[in-house]
Structures are given as C-alpha cells and as structure tokens.
Amino acid sequence: MNLVLLGAPGAGKGTQRAFLVQRYGIPVIATGDMLRDERKADTPLGRQVAPIMDRGDLVPDDLLVQIVKKRLQQPDTQRGFILDGFPRTLAQAQALDRILAEMGRALDAVIYLRVSRQVLIDRLAHRYVCRTCGSVYTFKAEEVRNLPRCPKDGGELYQRPDDRPEVVARRIDVFLQQTAPLIDYYTTQRKLENIDGQLPVEQVQEAILRKLKTLEPANT
C-alpha cells in the first residue's frame, strides 16, 4: 500500500500514521521528523532549514524532493510506504509521480484529514512532545500552566519551536494556500479520500480503514 497522508499541521496525521503502520506493516516517511532530526544533529541541512522552519515557511521543493527520492529507494519501502508531510505543493506532487513512475510504482490513495483553521490553531497552540520518547499530547489551555510528565516514560514535555503560538497561524495559512491545489490534483486522479479529521480518533481510524479496504484486493 503506497499512501500519502495529507493534512495541515495539527490535523492528526501523526496519530493516524501510527495506526496505519500497525495495520499494514509499512514504514512512515515523515519529512517533518527527518528535518527536525537533521536540525537537532546540527547538520549542514539542519542549519539550512532551521530559519525556514522557525518562520513557519515551507522548505524548498527541490530539497525535499531529493530527500524523499533517496528514502523511497531504501529496501524497506518495497512493500509500501506512508508519506507524511510530502507532497505539500503541486510541484512536489508532480515530482513524486515522476519518481514513482521511474520506479514502476504509483500511489494507491491520498488520505486528506480535513480540520477547520480554528481547530488547528487551538490544537497546535497546546501541543507538547516528550523529550525522550517523542509522544505527542494536546492539553487544554488551563492544563498548560501545570504540565504533567509523559505518562509513558516520565519524560519532560516541551513545545516544538514551530508550534509556538506566533508561528502556528502562519504555518496553517502557508499550508492552506500552497497545498490547496493538491486537493484538485488528486481528486482529478481519483486518489483523494476525504476524512473528517475533527471526529474522535477511533472514528477517524474507522473511516480511513473503510476507504482503504476497497483498495486491498488489488494489492494482495
């Protein structure tokens, strides 16, 4: 199963990709995580993208295309993959199609998690991550004043630089402006699956699974 998870920051892609990994046993290619790892390691790439991410802007297409192409050539993607954070522009989507065509492959579906702008802002402004295990949690405004430790391993919870309130709105607006053409692009290809991302997590999972089950016979 070759999938793209499409949705604005805060739409719940991280939660749903974990579910899909368990269901299909295929790797996640999350460009956001890859870039944050490069930044944390203070690599040349990390230093290049740090100011871009801090502004809430998108990393240049050519850079992301190179990263994704290299990752798709790894052996563990042969049974399929889940792309999260890529493509985010029409140029990236077209580049992805070319890369997959060269490999004799194609996307099976694009899962689009639809969430309103205000809900996205509320989620991101109160999203925190465990420093040790990377688990993500969303708190109510009053809970942020007294953050607990990570319930999984007791790790410290912190807010990513690109989740700061002053960056959140810009990240969402950039996504909505630059990613909107992808909706038409994948709708035309009959690969877009619209999912209400504001439903409870379990209902979102059920909706995704119903969509993908119709594709499974052709991929077995």
For the annotated catalytic residues, the residue numbers are: 13, 88, 127, 160, 171
Rounded Cα distance between 35 and 110, Å, is 22
Strands (E) across 45-84 are located at: 81-84
Q: Spell out the long-range contacts of 211-214 with Cβ–Cβ below 8 A and sequence spacing 24 or more.
A: 211/109, 211/111, 212/1, 212/3, 212/108, 212/109
Q: How many other CB atoms are found less than 10 A from the CB of residue 7?
A: 21
Task: Give SS3 for 10.
Answer: coil
Helix (H) or strand (E) holding 137: strand 136-138
Cα–Cα distance for residue pair 7/195, rounded to 1 Å: 10
CA nearest to 32, candidates 21, 10, 44 = 10
